Amino acid sequence: MNKVLKKVGLSAVVATFVFGLASTSSALTAQDPDNETANITANADVFVEATNDATYSETEDYKLTLDNNSAEGGEGKTGITYTKDFAATNGQTHVVSAFAAVGKANAATPNVKTSNKITFNTLYEGLNAGTFTGTEKIQYQRCQPAQSTDYATFCGTTTAKTPKANGDVAAGSKFDVQYAAVTTNADVTAVGNMKTIIPSLNYSVDARGLGVVSQNDNAVGSVAAGMAANIVEQGGTTMSYAQHTSAKGLVKFTKTMKYNSVIPAASALKTNIDKVP
């Protein structure tokens, strides 16, 4: 295909791409029950040339539940949920992604760490309009019930008793672009020892153009990101937070969200992952 670039606004979009080797790799390591550790790594580097039948898709769905958080002074339950759904049509696509998970309390590294680097361009004459759509979410949940064995659901109890402390924090992003370089990073340290390891969630997203000065390095499309949290401390103190940012058109978009807590235990209302983009 002879690629002649379409006009966007008042200037032409010119794209440069890294032609990397397309490859994927994954590994799963499970140790003996006494160590209570399961490690997962998955990496991909995929390039798709721009044609009218070009497609790309990648999904991930990960859940971790840790019981018996004795390092935090009592029984409890901790969980992480991570989901990703990427898809592209009719465009030149390059995606480098990495995922690593350590299913162990008091890990020296984050329990979950992910990264995605995306470049996409559908703005060529003769090429049917295409898009790159993506949704990514990560959630951190912790609880310590009033009675350690009284929970039928993640942070529910078999009675009407209120958990000693609970929290539900989620962050994520959503984008629909025709021309963009998008980078996302996320990590969660789910269970710490409260002295050297602090439980935390971090998420960031950056969307911009492909480095063309005449285009002011803007992405073409829409991007949104947000964070939601509900925290209940022992004694009834509560805190809630929600924040969302979105942009559409010729945009540069950068957002960073961080959470950390030294509440002895916290948990899962199972709602906040639905409140982020």
Res 106: pLDDT = 61
Place of tokens 């659901």: 153
How many domains, the chain? 1
Asked if 219 and 252 count as a contact pair (C-beta separation under 8 A), the reply is yes
pTM value is 0.79
pLDDT for position 36: 54
CA distance 193 to 220: 44
Q: Which residues pair with 139 in a beta bridge?
A: 81, 170
Structure tokens at 242: 């929600």
Instruction: Please tell me the predicted confidence (pLDDT) of residue 145.
Output: 56
Question: How many angstroms separate the CA atoms of 196 and 76, rounded?
Answer: 20
pLDDT in tens, 143-198: 765 444 443 444 544 444 555 557 789 999 999 999 999 999 999 987 655 556 67
pLDDT given at position 275: 67
- Residue-wise DSSP of the chain: ---EEPEETTEE-------PPPEEEEEEEE--TTT--EEEEEEEEEEE---TT-EEEEEEEEEEEEE--GGGTS--EEEEEEEEEEEEESSEEEEEEEEEEE--TT-SS-SEEEEEEEEEE--EETS----EEEEEEEEEEEEE-SSTT--SSSS--SSSPPPSEEEEEEEEEEEEEEEEEEEEEEEEE----SSS---EEEEEEEEE-SS-GGGTT-EEEEEEEEEEEEEE-TTS-EEEEEEEEEEEEEE-EEEEEEEE---S-----S-GGGT--
Instruction: Tell me the per-residue pLDDT of 165-176, one tens digit each, with 9 for 90 and over.
Output: 577 899 999 999
In the predicted structure, residue 264 carries a pLDDT above the cut 90: no
- What distance in Å separates the CA atoms of residue 79 and residue 99, rounded to the nearest whole number? 17
Query: What tens digit of pLDDT does each residue of 78-128 get?
Result: 788 999 999 999 999 999 999 998 877 666 678 899 999 999 999 888 889
Could you list the residue range(s) of the whole structural domain that residue 223 is in?
4-274
- Tens of pLDDT, residues 191-243: 655 556 677 899 999 999 997 655 678 999 999 999 998 877 666 677 888 99
Burial of 53 (0-12, 13-18, 19+ CB in 10 A): exposed
Dist CA 224 CA 237 (whole Å): 31
Q: How far apart are CA 82 and CA 139, in angstroms?
A: 6
Exposure letters 19-38 (e unless 16+ CB within 10 A, then b):
eeeeeeeeeeeeeeeeeeee
Q: What is the mean pLDDT of residues 34-63?
A: 86
pLDDT of the residue at 221: 96
Return the pLDDT at 3: 47
Report whether pLDDT(249) > 90.
Answer: yes
As given in the structure block, the two tokens for residue 221 are 């499309």
